[in-house]
A and B are shown apart, each in its own frame.
Chain A
Amino acid sequence: MPVIKLTATGSVLNDADKSAIVAQLNKELQSPTDDGPVIFEIPLSGEGKFDVLVVWEKWKEKAVPAQTRSDMILAAYGDKKNKIALPQGVTYQEAIEQNLLPYAVIPMARKNEVSAELLKASMKKYGAFTLPGEKVDLRLPTIELASDIHKKLVDELPKAYWSIAQSIGPVE
Chain B
Amino acid sequence: MKDYVTFAERLAPDTVNRLERAAHHRYESANVLWKEKRRLAALYMLGYTAEICLATAYFRCAGFSPNAEIDRETRNRRMAQARLIEMPNGDTLMPARDAHPILGWARFLEYERTRVGNLSVRDRQRLREAVNKASLIHSYWCPSLRYKVLDFGEEALQKVQKATKWLLDNQPQL
Mark A residues whose CB is within 8 Å of B: 42, 44-47, 49, 51, 53, 65-67, 70, 85-86, 88, 90, 94, 97-100, 102, 141-142, 169-172
Contact = CB atoms under 8 A, between A and B. Distances in A.
A53 B97 CA distance: 21
Contacts of A45: 68-69, 71
Interface string B96-138: 1101100000000000000100000000000000000000000
A52 to B, nearest CB: 10
Contacts of A44: 64, 68-69, 74
Contact of A47 (B65, B86, B143): B65
Interface residues of B, number: 26
Contacts of A67: 85, 115
A42 B63 CA distance: 16
Interface of B: 62-65, 67-69, 71, 73-74, 76-81, 83-86, 96-97, 99-100, 115, 143
Chain A binding surface SS class: loop
A94 B80 CA distance: 9
Nearest to A94: B84
B85 A100 contact: no
Nearest to B96: A97
A51 B68 CA distance: 14
Contacts of B68: 44-47
Contact of B76 (A47, A94, A100): A100
26 contacts: A44-B74, A45-B68, A45-B71, A46-B67, A46-B69, A47-B63, A47-B64, A47-B65, A51-B74, A66-B81, A66-B85, A70-B81, A86-B81, A88-B77, A94-B80, A94-B84, A98-B80, A99-B80, A100-B77, A102-B73, A141-B73, A142-B73, A169-B76, A170-B97, A171-B99, A172-B99
